[in-house]
Structure formats: C-alpha cells, structure tokens
C-alpha cells in the first residue's frame, strides 16, 4: 500500500521518515508498543510517526485487505485488532445470561484472547472448549480501562453481546469502589466511592480493630498491620481493593544486571513499574527469574525472596551472584540450613511463616518481596508471609491454579496478573512448545486387570497408576527419543524404585538425602545424566533446563497444577519438547489424563491421543 507518513510540527513526529509506509508490520509494531491486543489510530500514528488522519486511512486500507478488523468500542471511537485467521471449523457460541462461551476448534489467537477475561472449564472432543466468565476474571483482567477490555472481548467473541458486556461493566465498576492510600501524615487510609459503601459494605464486614476511626463519610483510618485482612475480607464480599499506598523501600540497594533482557522481559518490568505490584505469569523457561532480577535493579531496594524449597533458594543465590552486580556479602539465605538476614535475603515459605522467625522479617523495611511459585500463598502457613510489610510485591508462576480454586487470593494478597502471550514466546523461540501425547496402555496381564476389578478406593487408583505395562512403554519412549534429556514422574515410591531399576537410572524422592538430591539434580543439569525418575519433590521449585522429554507415569489423580508443572519442564529453548502422559485403559486414569491436560490446552498447547509404542493391538499385554 502507499499511504505516506506526513511530517508535522510535533517534535516527536517531525523526525519520522516522510517516505515510510504504514503496512501490517507497522501495525504489529504498534500492538507491541501499546502492550495490548488492540490499538487506536492514535497508537498507530505515534508508532508510524504520522498524523491520526493518515493512520485512520491506513487502517481502513488494511481492513479492506483483510489484514486488520475494526472493533467499535462506543458510538464515537474504535480500536483495531489483527484480522481473525480462524479456519471454517472455528465456531464461537456465547450464552450471555450464563456467561458461558463454547468454542469449537479454536485457533491459538482466540484462546490467547479468551484467557485474558475467561476461565477454561472443560475441553473435550464433543463440546469443544468451554469457558466461563467469572467475577474474578473481570476484576483481575490485565487492562487499564474498560474500553480496552471490551475491545478484547468483542475481538474474541466476534461481535457485541449486550447482556454480557453490561455485566462486565458492573464487575469492572465493583473492582474500583475501594482503594488504600497513604495519608500525608503517613498512616493508611481506606477510601470508598461513597458514604454508603463505607458504612454499609466495609464497616459491617471488617473485624474490630481493622478500621481505627472514621476520617469523614468516605474515608477511614486503617490499622497498618491489618491491611491484608481488610483486602481479603472485601475481596470475598465482592469488592477487590486497589492498593495505592506509599510504602517505605528500606535502605537503598544499587545493583545492575549483567545480562541482556529479552523484549518481553523488559515489557514485564515496565508493566510492573506502572502497577507497583503484580504476578508474572509465563511458562517455565520464559525467564521470570531474570525479569524479577530486572525488577530488583529497577527498584533498588532491600529484597526478601520467598521460595518453596532449599534447592530453589540455592539456585536463586547462584543467579543473583552470576547475573547481577551484587556481592556475596549482600545475599543471604534463611532456612533450615542457614540463618542469614542480608540486604537480599532468600527464605523458604515455611520458615518465613513461622511465628518465631516472622518477627525477624517483619522488623525490616523491604523494598520488594518476591514470591516464587506464588501458588503456595493461599495455604495457611504460607499465607502469613503475605502479610509482611513491603512497598512492592512480586509473584512468579506458570500456573496460578490451586485445587480449591482460590487463586483469587493470590491476586488479592500479592497483586494483579501481568501475563504475556505464550504463543508469541513459542514462535520467537524463547521456549519450545511441548508436543503433549496421551497414551492409553493395556493391563500388563489379565491378573492385573482382575485385581483392579476387585479393588476399591485408593487401592484401585494405585493399581491403575502402577500398572507394570508402563515400564515397557517408558523404555520404548526413551528409545524413540534416545539422546534427549528426560524426566519420568511418579507418585509412588515403590513404582519409582522399579522404573529406576529397570532403566538403570537414579530415583529422586523426598526420602533422598538433601545432599544427594542436590548432587543428582546438578548432574542432570550439567549433562552427566540424561534420564532421572522423580517423585513429587521434582514437580516444582527445581530449575531443570534443557529438559526435552517429560513422562508422567503416575500421579494423574493429583492436582491440575501438578500436570501443568510437569509439562512445563519441557518448555525450554531446545529443538524438540515432548510430554507423554501414560494412563491405563479402562480405568479412571483415562478421565484424569484428559482433565489434567486442559490447562495446557488453555495456553494454546495442542494435546493429542496416540497409540502406545510397546503394545500394537492395545489389548492386555502378555504375561512376562
């Protein structure tokens, strides 16, 4: 196309190349600069260095060429999004009153949009992808304004749905009824949009002592040590609180990074700086830890890093010393093996949540608290650590999901989600999108099948999980992927021992001494071991780079987050990345296998069923 930019008197625009064309690449540059999936003509004009009129003409031309699509936000304004490239098979059906969305064979772009304002409830071959739009999805939507959110909803759903959008608008307003601020004299204040909200919503629900006194009809003095209780109570009442307090950063801690950031990591840091607190959500291998180091360098305040395990504490210390200008004297660890409080302190959740240790952390003014594997926060002991006072809170997670569906507590206690486009990371080669295969195996023998038929309860589940036929299939998978680094996940110790013995590789479980466990993980990271078998101790909190194959041999009855964590071990910048989920055919594992991979499907990862390698006909294996 031939729309030429126009030089104007605006000094920011005057330097633009007058001969530059506005093509689809310029449009995508504007999307990246705006940090959202839609742009205005003003956004495009700023990126292209031209007038808004020329940008509007260019957008209209791109729409005529089916490159972009116009989305009307209100009667007078519009935003623009990439043209949908869905095939003829994609179909979106909206049930506005129930706030349900059913999508048949959705493309990855559609799923990426939906995850910004909806929750994946189910995925199956009969009903497609079923999403629900919940209150917390709107409260936590990563948008600065309602029009931007509505534009994304219309882009995902392919049109305007008045009843749904009216409800969304109501929920957006609820999320902006209360906010915490700092009074000029230094104490915390709760501000309500109206006197009715303060008197009839907040005061009756809050425990005695949370509010110290009324300041006027719409504001009240808050007990600083009870702010977490206030936020949680009002959230549960349907009124999330915006936190705009000015908290101390503690002593300054100048530091710089010694490595180069990826573009989306820089974006994470910029968005965190705007928000002040938040949860970085991205796949394993995307560099959330590096982004956290960048946020530390941006804040330059004393930092407390909370982790689920001592192994992860040691890895954080290594990263801090290798990738920043901090000295060893500035970094300490505080857990069962070490007790050091330093300007940067790495502690386990368990230790920081204990009353006898908590006072040590509470007595220091932290500029930043980092919550690694932040999905631990809602559990009782770990939740106490969220009440530690700090100016900034940063959560890191790939899968902010708990079985109790209380992930909203994470955003209440830490901050709103700051996500990234997982598909863009895959396409850019920063992480490798795993190929996930579910393989349904026959029973190892008729005897094993009969034992399952007569068993009940937990014994029934354990028999299916430890079906000996899985050992043959694991061997076949490893042979097919020989030369690749592989992890085999198990739930039961006896099964782990049997698989490790059959393969001639180490088995790492909670019973493995800490020193040996660290040594084996180190050998795997260093390439001296190419295959390990791990129990749940290996599901999270351990950085295992370059893992190319993950095999879930058992544990399908565990948490949904566990399944995503295991698949995430293969999300690394390598040539191929595969996950194999093994389930015994004709048992409840079939259903578990499908359910436990739906979160990967929500992130744009295709999950397929495949025939086992070791059992061609799918019937009962021969007795050995």
User: Is residue 623's pLDDT more than 50?
Assistant: no
Neighbours of 218 (CB within 10 A): 16
Residue 161 sits in the same domain as residue 182: no
The whole-number pLDDT of residue 160 equals 86
* Domain termination site, one of 156, 174, 192: 174
User: Is residue 15's pLDDT more than 60?
Assistant: no
- Model pLDDT for residues 161-196, shown as the tens digit of each residue: 999 999 999 999 998 999 999 998 889 999 999 999
* 3-state SS, residue 33: helix
Three-state helix/strand/coil letters over 522-548: HHHHHCCCCEEEECHHHCCCCCCCCCC
Q: What percent of the chain has pLDDT over 90?
A: 24
Q: Lowest-confidence range among 72-81, 264-273, 346-355, 531-540?
A: 72-81
Residue 492 sits in the same domain as residue 543: yes
User: Is residue 231's pLDDT more than 70?
Assistant: yes
CA distance linking residue 283 with residue 86, whole number of Å: 25
Confidence category of residue 614, pLDDT binned at 50, 70, 90: confident
Residue 299 sits in the same domain as residue 322: yes
Strands 241-244 and 331-335: unpaired
Q: Lowest-confidence range among 8-17, 99-108, 214-223, 240-249?
A: 8-17
The whole-number pLDDT of residue 571 equals 42
- Whole-angstrom CA distances from 569 to 65, 237, 299, 301, 375 are 41, 38, 30, 32, 17
337: DSSP letter: T
Confidence category of residue 560, pLDDT binned at 50, 70, 90: very low
| 83: exposed, middle or buried (Cβ count in 10 Å: 0-12, 13-18, 19+) | middle
Selection from 549, 519, 516, 553 nearest residue 536 by Cα: 553
Contact 181, 191 (CB under 8 A): yes
Confidence category of residue 501, pLDDT binned at 50, 70, 90: very high
Identify whether 119 is part of a domain.
yes
Strands 331-335 and 219-222: unpaired
Identify whether 297 is part of a domain.
yes
Residue 278 sits in the same domain as residue 417: yes
Contact 13, 7 (CB under 8 A): yes
Residue 325 sits in the same domain as residue 399: yes
- Model pLDDT for residues 301-341, shown as the tens digit of each residue: 899 999 888 888 888 999 999 999 999 999 999 887 678 88
Identify whether 248 is part of a domain.
no
Residue 106 sits in the same domain as residue 136: yes
Task: Kindly state the average pLDDT of the residues 390-401.
Answer: 75
Identify whether 319 is part of a domain.
yes
Structural domain total, the chain: 5
- Model pLDDT for residues 397-450, shown as the tens digit of each residue: 876 544 444 555 666 667 777 766 555 565 555 555 567 888 889 999 999 999
Task: Kindly state the average pLDDT of the residues 112-127.
Answer: 73
Q: Which residues are CB-contacts of 20 (< 8 A; sequence separation ≥ 6)?
A: 4, 5, 26, 48, 49, 50
Residue 235, both tokens: 């959230």
Task: Kindly state the average pLDDT of the residues 272-287.
Answer: 80
Compute the C-alpha angle 361/245/377, nearest 5°. Answer: 45
Task: Kindly state the average pLDDT of the residues 444-473.
Answer: 90
Q: Whose structure tokens read 């305040």?
A: 301
Identify whether 61 is part of a domain.
yes
Residue 561 sits in the same domain as residue 449: yes
The whole-number pLDDT of residue 248 equals 62
Identify whether 412 is part of a domain.
yes
The whole-number pLDDT of residue 421 equals 59
* Domain termination site, one of 199, 223, 238: 238
Neighbours of 363 (CB within 10 A): 9
Contact 397, 374 (CB under 8 A): yes
Residue 319, both tokens: 């990263």
Contact 310, 445 (CB under 8 A): no
Q: Which own/partner contact pairs does 156-160 have at CB distance under 8 Å and 24+ positions apart?
A: 156/92, 156/110, 156/113, 156/114, 156/117, 157/92, 157/94, 157/101, 158/84, 158/92, 160/72
Task: Kindly state the average pLDDT of the residues 359-385.
Answer: 72
Contact 86, 107 (CB under 8 A): yes
CA distance linking residue 151 with residue 68, whole number of Å: 14
Identify whether 616 is part of a domain.
no
Residue 331 sits in the same domain as residue 415: yes
Residue 474 sits in the same domain as residue 558: yes
Confidence category of residue 214, pLDDT binned at 50, 70, 90: very high
Higher pLDDT, 547 or 145: 145
Residue 306 sits in the same domain as residue 439: no
User: Is residue 575's pLDDT more than 70?
Assistant: no
Confidence category of residue 478, pLDDT binned at 50, 70, 90: very high
Higher pLDDT, 164 or 12: 164
Residue 15: which CATH number?
1.10.10.10
Identify whether 576 is part of a domain.
yes
Higher pLDDT, 221 or 599: 221
Radius of gyration (Cα) for the chain, nearest Å? 26
Compute the C-alpha angle 389/392/395, nearest 5°. Answer: 100
The whole-number pLDDT of residue 1 equals 37
Contact 248, 365 (CB under 8 A): yes
* Domain termination site, one of 400, 424, 448: 424
DSSP string of 369-392, one letter each residue: EEEETGGGTTSHHHHHHTTS-EEE
Higher pLDDT, 453 or 2: 453
Residue 95 sits in the same domain as residue 158: yes
User: Is residue 259's pLDDT more than 80?
Assistant: yes
Higher pLDDT, 213 or 87: 213
Higher pLDDT, 394 or 596: 394
Confidence category of residue 381, pLDDT binned at 50, 70, 90: low
Backbone angles phi and psi of 51, in degrees to 5: -75, 160
Task: Kindly state the average pLDDT of the residues 453-477.
Answer: 90
Phi-psi category of residue 337: left, alpha or beta, with phi > 0 → left and psi -120 to 50 → alpha: alpha
Residue 503: which CATH number?
3.40.50.300
Q: Distance from CA of residue 551 to its chain's centroid?
A: 22
Strands annotated E in 455-506: 486-489
* 3-state SS, residue 335: strand
Domain that holds residue 51: 11-82
Higher pLDDT, 573 or 314: 314
CA distance linking residue 589 with residue 43, whole number of Å: 50
Mean pLDDT of the chain: 79
Confidence category of residue 130, pLDDT binned at 50, 70, 90: confident
Residue 466 sits in the same domain as residue 575: yes
């Amino acid at each position: 196309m031939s729309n030429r930019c126009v030089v104007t008197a605006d000094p920011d625009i005057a330097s633009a190349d007058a001969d530059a064309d506005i093509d689809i690449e310029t449009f995508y540059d504007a999307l990246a600069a705006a940090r959202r999936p839609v742009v205005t003509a003003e956004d495009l004009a700023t990126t292209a260095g031209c007038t808004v009129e020329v940008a509007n003409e260019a957008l209209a031309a791109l729409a005529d060429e089916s490159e972009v699509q116009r989305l009307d936000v209100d009667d007078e304004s519009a935003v623009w999004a990439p043209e949908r490239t869905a095939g003829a098979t994609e179909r979106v059906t909206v049930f506005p009153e129930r706030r349900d969305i059913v999508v048949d064979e959705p493309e990855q772009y559609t799923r990426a949009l939906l995850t910004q304002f909806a929750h994946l409830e189910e995925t199956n071959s009969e009903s497609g992808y079923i999403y629900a739009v919940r209150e917390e999805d709107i409260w936590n939507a990563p948008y600065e304004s309602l029009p931007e959110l509505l534009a994304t909803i219309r882009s995902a759903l392919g049109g305007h749905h008045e009843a749904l959008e009216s409800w969304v608008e109501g929920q957006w307003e609820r999320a902006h009824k209360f906010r915490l601020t700092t009074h000029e004299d230094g104490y915390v204040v709760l501000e309500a949009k109206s006197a009715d909200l303060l008197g009839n919503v907040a005061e009756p629900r809050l425990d005695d002592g949370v509010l110290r006194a009324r300041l006027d009809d719409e504001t009240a003095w808050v007990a600083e040590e009870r702010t977490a209780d206030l936020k949680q109570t009002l959230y549960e009442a349907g009124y999330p609180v915006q936190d705009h307090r000015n908290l101390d950063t503690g002593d300054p801690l100048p530091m710089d990074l010694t490595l180069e950031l990826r573009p989306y990591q820089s974006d994470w840091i910029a968005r965190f700086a705007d928000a002040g607190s938040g949860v970085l959500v991205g796949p394993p291998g995307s560099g959330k830890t590096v982004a956290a180091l960048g946020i530390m360098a941006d804040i330059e305040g004393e930092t407390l890093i909370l982790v689920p395990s001592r192994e992860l504490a040691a890895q954080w210390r290594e990263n801090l010393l290798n990738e920043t200008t901090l000295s060893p004297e500035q970094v300490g660890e505080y857990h069962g093996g070490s007790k050091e409080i330093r300007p940067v302190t790495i502690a386990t959740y368990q230790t920081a949540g204990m009353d006898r240790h908590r006072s040590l952390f509470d007595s220091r003014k932290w500029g930043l608290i980092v919550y690694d594997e932040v999905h631990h926060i809602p559990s009782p002991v770990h939740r106490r650590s969220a009440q530690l006072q700090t100016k900034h809170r940063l959560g890191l997670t790939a899968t902010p999901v708990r079985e109790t569906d209380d992930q909203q507590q994470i955003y209440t206690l830490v901050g709103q989600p700051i996500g990234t486009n997982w598909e863009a990371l895959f396409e850019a080669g920063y992480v490798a999108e795993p190929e996930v295969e579910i393989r349904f195996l026959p029973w190892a023998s008729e005897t094993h099948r009969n034992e399952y038929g007569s068993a009940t309860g937990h014994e029934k589940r354990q028999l299916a999980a430890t079906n000996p036929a899985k050992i043959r299939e694991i061997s076949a998978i490893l042979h097919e992927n020989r030369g690749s680094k592989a992890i085999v996940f198990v739930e039961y110790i006896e099964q782990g021992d049997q698989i490790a013995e059959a393969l001639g590789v180490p088995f790492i479980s909670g019973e493995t001494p800490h020193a040996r466990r660290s040594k084996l993980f180190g050998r795997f990271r260093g390439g001296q071991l190419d295959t390990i078998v791990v129990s749940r101790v290996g599901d999270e909190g351990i950085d295992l780079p370059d893992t190319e194959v993950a095999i879930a041999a058992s544990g399908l009855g565990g948490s949904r987050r566990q399944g995503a964590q295991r698949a995430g071990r293969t999300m690394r910048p390598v040539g191929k990345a595969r996950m194999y989920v093994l389930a015994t055919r004709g048992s409840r594992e079939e259903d578990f296998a499908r359910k436990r991979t739906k979160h990967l499907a929500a992130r744009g990862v295709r999950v397929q069923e495949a025939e086992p390698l070791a059992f061609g006909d799918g019937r009962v294996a021969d007795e050995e």
